[in-house]
Structure formats: structure tokens, C-alpha cells
Homo-oligomer: A and B are copies of this chain.
Amino acid sequence: MTEASSTQQDSIYAKLRQWITVGRFLPGERLKIRNVAADMGVGHMPVRAALQRLAAEGALVNSPNAGVAVPQLSAPEFDDLLQMRMLLEGEAAERGSMLLDTTQLATMKSLCERMDQALADNRPADYLAANEDFHVLLYRAAGSPILFNLIDTLWLRAGPVSNHLFDTPEATQVLNDAHRDVMRALERRDSTGVRRAVEKDIFVAGQFLRRR
């Protein structure tokens, strides 16, 4: 998902970014430069640069002279984010569904099975990883780097809240059904159906998250 890194701040940035998307930090939590640097065993400088980059992307909020913190979304902000995800991911899914070759389609099918198995074995980490690969593969196939980049940004903003979805076990089952809908629509090359299925996936996930 993220590119290789030669310089030091890039690797720190990549690691922090992954931690954020996985939901390692709580909304409202304040990331202090010296703490992060100590935890990672590096100097303050590259950490500072990495945090500034993440703040510029919207993954963190930056109060002047008060450092950076994980944003805590209000209800309307959360709805806004969800709506935008439905728009952009729906668009990417519709475009990607027409450009996927058979190899990629087979890969997605296997990823779907991996998600089933991870769900059955109750391994959330594996499920999330497969889920991410599933969507990334579809969205990349759309052939629009900018669109993918924007979606990636939205995932980053949604990460701190979205990945606590496994607190409600019945949600995962519904989400898995949504993925199967996506697969079915993909196999019959129904691009608008794929869009609708993806939109529904995001929507129902939002419904579950709203009850917190």
C-alpha cells in the first residue's frame, strides 16, 4: 500500500500511518513528539516531520503550538466522511469492475475466501488485511492514481473509528455478505451493481459505527 522508504522519516511516517489506519490510537489522543520518538528509539526530528506530513494529509489535526492529535469526528463530520467514501469508492468500484482482468478477479475471489476463513477463525487482523487488499485491488484497477490517492486519504481519516468495528460481532457477518454481493456483481460484469454493492457496504458499516 505504501511505497518503499530510503530516508528515516519516511519509514516512521509509513509505520505511524499504518498504526493509524489499524486503529492503534484513539480519537482525541495526543501524539507527543518525544514520546513517539522514545517508543521507536529514534530522534525527535524525523518523528516531527512524519507527524507534520500526516497532519497535512488530514490524518491528524494540528493545533498551533499544541502539537498533533488524532481527530475525533463529530456526528455530521462522520456522516460527511461516509458520504464522500460512498461517492469516491463507488466511482472507483464502477470503473474498476470494467477493467479487471480474469487474474485479478480470481485474486479477489481468493481474498473473499480468506476473509470468510478469518471470520470463522475469529482473527480480526487477518480479516482487516484481506479486506484492505480486496478493496485496494478493485480501486487500483480503476486506473486513476488520483482517485485512489483520495480514497486512501479518506481511509486514513476513517481509520481510528472504522477499525473498532469488531466490537460488535454481528456487524462482521453483515459486512461479509456485502462483500459477497460485490463479488457476484463483479462476476457478471454488472458495473452499476458493483457500485451499489460497495456503497451499501460502506453505508451499513457506518450504521453499525453510529451506535457508539
Q: What string of 1s and 0s marks CB contacts (under 8 Å) between A119-148 and chain B?
A: 000000000000000000000000011110
Contact flags A26-69 to B (C-beta < 8 A → 1, else 0): 00000000000000000000000100111111100000110000
Residue A107 lies at the interface, judged by CB distance under 8 Å to chain B: no
- Interface of chain A: mostly helix, strand, loop or mixed: helix
Further 13 A-B residue pairs, CB within 8 A, beyond A52-B53, A84-B146, A146-B154 = A10-B64, A49-B52, A53-B55, A54-B56, A56-B56, A56-B57, A57-B57, A80-B144, A83-B144, A84-B144, A84-B150, A150-B150, A150-B153
Contacts of A80 in B (CB 8 A): 144-147
Chain B positions within 8 Å of A149 at CB level:
58
In this assembly, does A89 line the interface, its C-beta being within 8 Å of a C-beta of chain B? no
B146 engages A65 (CB within 8 Å): no
Contact with B along A144-177 (1 / 0, CB 8 A): 1111011001100100000000000000000000
Chain B's closest residue to A49 (CB) is: B52
A154–B145 alpha-carbon span in the complex (Å): 13
A81 in contact (CB, < 8 A): yes
CB distance from A43 to the nearest CB of B (A): 15
Complex alpha-carbon distance, A145 and B76, angstroms: 10
- Which residue of chain B is the closest to A53 with respect to CB atoms? B56
Nearest chain B CB to A9 CB, angstrom units: 8
Can you spell out 28 A-B residue pairs with CB atoms less than 8 angstroms apart? A6-B64, A6-B65, A7-B65, A49-B52, A52-B53, A52-B56, A53-B53, A53-B55, A53-B56, A54-B56, A56-B56, A57-B57, A58-B149, A77-B145, A77-B146, A80-B144, A80-B145, A80-B146, A80-B147, A81-B146, A83-B144, A84-B144, A84-B146, A87-B91, A146-B154, A146-B157, A150-B150, A150-B153
